[in-house]
Structure 1
């Protein structure tokens, strides 16, 4: 169980980083950026509990790709 908790903590940090990256790269409109960041974090944590490790890691990978694409569009 401690290993699962540790991976969960790492995933939480990753979600926060990806959320913040999206928050930074979107045109500033304030609230919507924070909502997107929070949604990404919430979705990641929900996936972790509901579906387990492998789909969560796959989802994180997808979020990182999306975030990278969006960042490259605006930068």
Structure 2
């Protein structure tokens, strides 16, 4: 994960003074979607709600778990 990923984790100090980054489980499993995939997920969700398998079926190569994880990460602060 690169440093431009925002506030998905928090910095802390180890006993020897080194800085580490703690990342929550959701952020660790986040899969990056293209802009087109994101748009499709949002539009499909408006139509069918949390039917992740149905939404994933419209995005080649994506699983229901990936789509659900994407949605959860995008909406965790709203």
TM-score (norm 1): 0.28
Q: Compare the two structures and name the one with the higher helix fraction.
A: 1
TM-score (norm 2): 0.27
- Structure scoring higher RCO (CA < 8 A, sep ≥ 6) equals 1
Q: Compare the two structures and name the one with the higher strand fraction.
A: 2
